[in-house]
Amino acid sequence: MDWDHAIDAYLDWARVERGLSPNTLDAYSRDLGLLAAQMIAQGLQTVDQVQREHLSAYMGHLLDQGRAMSTLGRHRVAFRQLFKFLVREGLLQVDPSALVQGPRRGRSLPGVLSEAHVTRLLDAPDITTPIGERDAAMLETLYATGIRVTELVTLERRALHLGYGTVRVLGKGRKERVVPIGDRALAAIHRYVNGARTLLDKAAVQRWLFLSPRGGCLTRTAFWYRVRHYARVSGIPGPVYPHKLRHSFATHLLEHGADLRMVQAMLGHADITTTEIYTHVARERLRAIHAQHHPRGIDLDPPAG
């Protein structure tokens, strides 16, 4: 089977059977397209010609290009899934990717905002304007629920249950979960729904909760720029992006004694080991606070030796 047919067959299966998001499918398509181009350049016109050493050399090629370790890992996941699919479908006898080593790196801790910086960010929008009122509701919702930015911008009005104080979220793999919303976020949403949203959706026909100035669904990129704008006007140092509020949501919950399993459920993580990274973040932050504020937290005169 040639590369185009193999990749198309895998992506079709991944979309229908695994329910992968369009963003993930686009990333896999780009990664596998680059792999195919490299293999064809070496004379490997069909997928059955590929051996383990070809894939190992390809990983080395990416490393020599200066690609980030996370990028290398994503490429390996993409071609591993492709070849596993081909073997499962009987299109290949042997999986050449099975023994290909992935990049080794320590797991970096996600960036987190302090509670004071979160407050400054959430207070930044000018709620006397329709866009500011919308942005305030979105920021409050993001921090109150920890949902992903894609989940936020694609929220539908019917997913919101103001009476119960919850929102129904459609996450990765089209898995649904119900997440509670705090009183402040509910108040901001209620103000927006009864105010700015009626101006943005004059015909009252849109199903999306958060609307663009033209009355359509707001894009992820547009909201990313809004978050960066509010971080800048608030004087918050370092990069600030929507996912950082998700990290902050999880870390602050754990710092205040929340159960790890409950945080996992709210974040929509399939594996609790993904959620456990936030326990490390919380511990590191507590150590830093202790070192900064405790009178004997920092040893200014370490013993010689």
Q: What percent of the chain has pLDDT over 90?
A: 48
Q: CATH: 1.10.443.10, 3.40.50.150, 1.10.1270.20, 1.20.120.1200. Which one for 115-293?
A: 1.10.443.10
Question: Quick one: pLDDT at residue 287?
Answer: 65
Task: Point out the catalytic residue in the list 244, 246, 247, 252.
Answer: 246
Residue 50: φ, ψ to 5°: -80, 135
Domain residue spans of the chain: 3-88, 115-293
Helix (H) or strand (E) segment spanning residue 180: strand 176-180
Q: Which residue among the candidates 84, 228, 243, 285 is catalytic per the annotation?
A: 243
Instruction: Give dist(CA 107, CA 225) in Å, integer.
Output: 28
Burial class (CB in 10 A: 0-12, 13-18, 19+), 180: middle
Listing DSSP states for 128-166 in one string gives TSHHHHHHHHHHHHHHHH---HHHHHT-BGGGEETTTTE
Do the domains 115-293 and 3-88 match in fold? Answer: no
Those residues with Cβ within 8 angstroms of residue 174's Cβ, 6 or more apart along the chain or in another chain: 19
pLDDT tens track for 169-184: 988 777 889 999 989 9
Average pLDDT over residues 219-233: 94
Which listed residue (10, 28, 58, 278) is catalytic?
278
pLDDT one-digit tens code per residue, 75-97: 888 899 999 999 998 888 889 88
CATH superfamily of 3-88: Tyrosine recombinase, N-terminal domain (1.10.150.130)
Which residues are CB-neighbours of 96 under 8 A, at least 6 positions away? 50, 51, 52, 54, 55, 83
Active site annotation includes 148: yes
Rg of the chain taking only CA atoms, in angstroms:
23
Per-residue pLDDT of 122-175, as tens digits, reads 999 999 999 999 999 999 999 999 999 999 999 999 998 888 889 999 887 778
* pLDDT value of residue 205: 81
| Identified catalytic residue from 172, 177, 229, 285 | 172
150 neighbors 220 (Cβ within 8 angstroms): yes
What is the per-residue pLDDT for 139? Answer: 97
Q: Are 277 and 109 in contact, with CB atoms under 8 Å apart? A: yes
- Among 75, 148, 247, 252, the one annotated catalytic: 148
Task: Assess whether 269 carries a catalytic annotation.
Answer: yes
Residue 278 has pLDDT above 90, yes or no: no
Average pLDDT over residues 191-207: 88
Q: Compute CA distances 132 → 5, 122, 148, 300, whole Å.
A: 48, 11, 21, 46
**Residue 230 known to be catalytic:** no
Residues 6+ apart with CB under 8 A from 303: none
